[in-house]
Amino acid sequence: MSGAGNNEGAIAEREGSPHGGTGRENSDPLFSIVMTVFDPWVLFPHALECVLRQTWSRWELVVVSDGACDPLVALSLASSRGRWRGRRVEQQVLERAEGCWGNRGRAWGLDWARGDRIVWVNHDNLIGPDYLAAHAAAAARSPDTITVVDIELWQKGRYRGRYPRGLRRSRIDLLNFSLPVDLARRIEAFGPAMEREYAADGTVFEAAAVIAPVEWEPVCVGAHF
């Protein structure tokens, strides 16, 4: 992607190609968590803490920041290093440019994902300890599927209800679903065709649902603020 630059002090070095899964996606999937961080970024340390408390141990974290918040991101990651337990945790910088930076950041994170499945988490999303475990439970029932979990949706300090309210574009939130990484790349999730869409998460979900089945785990394991 043009306009993107790697953080000179990247938290972890990638080995070889950034692409590639582990081959264990059916029984013990590795989740790539792509977290975009942009203004206002004050919730990032809390979002990071939520990731570190996951009961599902097989995950990697790719943090995509916009440059402005780098000191906070770097400090938070450095202070948590002792809790990574050998996991890959990496920060990448994608400079602001014309268009929807959030979607570009999610696509950029997908480029760096090495896991079997991917979830996209914003810096203002708080996930419960069993967030990844719930996705893994749904994936275990139906391999190579789109998995969906429930979350609480808040907007401007008001509770808007439990999501998803249906398995279609206008009724689902980014935090609700996980995709196999190969499927996300096949549909070019958040890529150029979707980059300027305000609610591209619904477009990503619908494009994936044309190809793969959906498995819904109706437990509430996160909150989108």
Residue 136 reports pLDDT greater than 60: yes
Per the structure, the count of domains in the chain is 1
Residue 5 reports pLDDT greater than 80: no
CA–centroid distance for 11 within its chain:
18
Residue 72 inside a domain? The answer is yes
Cα 150 to Cα 63, 108, 175, 216, distances in angstroms: 23, 26, 9, 9
Cα–Cα distance, 128 to 24 (Å, whole number): 24
Residue 23 reports pLDDT greater than 70: no
Structure token pair of residue 197: 């869409």
Mean predicted confidence (pLDDT) in 28-49: 90
Residue 103 inside a domain? The answer is yes
Residue 11 inside a domain? The answer is no
Mean predicted confidence (pLDDT) in 47-67: 95
Position 156 confidence tier, pLDDT thresholds 50, 70, 90: confident
Structure token pair of residue 117: 């499945």
Residue 4 inside a domain? The answer is no
Domain ranges, residue 174: 28-224
**More confident site: 203 or 27:** 203
CA–centroid distance for 158 within its chain:
24
Residue 15 inside a domain? The answer is no
Across the chain, mean pLDDT equals 86
Residue 14 inside a domain? The answer is no
Three-state secondary structure call for residue 91: strand
> Peptide bond preceding 129: is omega within 30 degrees of 0, i.e. cis?
no
Which range has the top average pLDDT, 12-21, 24-33, 90-99, 172-181?
172-181
**More confident site: 167 or 156:** 167
Residue 80 inside a domain? The answer is yes
Q: What are 173-183's pLDDT values in tens digits?
A: 999 999 999 99
At residue 71, the pLDDT reads 82
Least confident range from 4-18, 95-109, 209-223: namely 4-18
Cα–Cα distance, 189 to 73 (Å, whole number): 25
Show the DSSP H helices in the chain as ranges: 44-52, 70-79, 101-112, 131-141, 181-186, 200-209
At residue 15, the pLDDT reads 34
Nearest to 135 by CA among 72, 38, 217: 217
Residue 170 reports pLDDT greater than 90: no
Position 14 confidence tier, pLDDT thresholds 50, 70, 90: very low
At residue 1, the pLDDT reads 36
**More confident site: 198 or 48:** 48
Residue 63 inside a domain? The answer is yes
Q: What is the CATH number of the domain that holds 211?
A: 3.90.550.10
Residue 84 reports pLDDT greater than 80: yes
Mean predicted confidence (pLDDT) in 155-166: 86
At residue 17, the pLDDT reads 37
- Beta-bridged to residue 23, according to DSSP, are none
At residue 100, the pLDDT reads 81
Own/partner pairs for 100-105, CB < 8 Å, 24+ apart? 100/195, 100/196, 100/197, 100/198, 100/200, 101/38, 101/66, 102/36, 102/38, 103/190, 103/194, 103/195, 103/196, 103/197, 103/200, 104/1, 104/190, 104/195, 105/34, 105/36, 105/38, 105/64, 105/66
